[in-house]
Amino acid sequence: MDSIDKLLAELQTECKEVQPQQQSKSATAKSFMPSSPKSASFMDKLLADVKADFAEEDAAIELKRQQELEQERIQQEKIKAKQIEGLKVQAKEWLAKVDPLSSEGLWFERFAESYPSKLEAAIEYLRSNE
């Protein structure tokens, strides 16, 4: 039995030597793997940061688009105002030339009754004839 005891003692010694090595390997492996609660909160924060960055970028793009639309609207208003000024000049010239007793003049008098001024009526008349 003495040999069996020796073998048993050797096995126990080997097991004790192997166990610390395995524990150190598993501890090393665990140190490389982040713990799940910390990992989840880190990932959530990272995801929230990325989401916030995209939202901020989208907001900046939308603001730029709104500004461009506003500039376009202002430009269109300027063009329209220039066209109206040009029509005013033409309307004044046309009013000065039209014979109020001609068929066109009599028709225009009746047409102009629904407008605040003859000039506005003449502008509308010229605009419709373009």
Average pLDDT of the chain is 84
d(CA 72, CA 80): 12
d(CA 128, CA 109): 17
Over residues 44-72, the pLDDT tens digits come to 999 999 999 999 999 999 999 999 999 99
Helix residue ranges per DSSP H, the chain: 2-32, 36-97, 103-112, 118-129
Greater confidence, 34 or 123? 123
Contact 105, 99 (CB under 8 A): yes
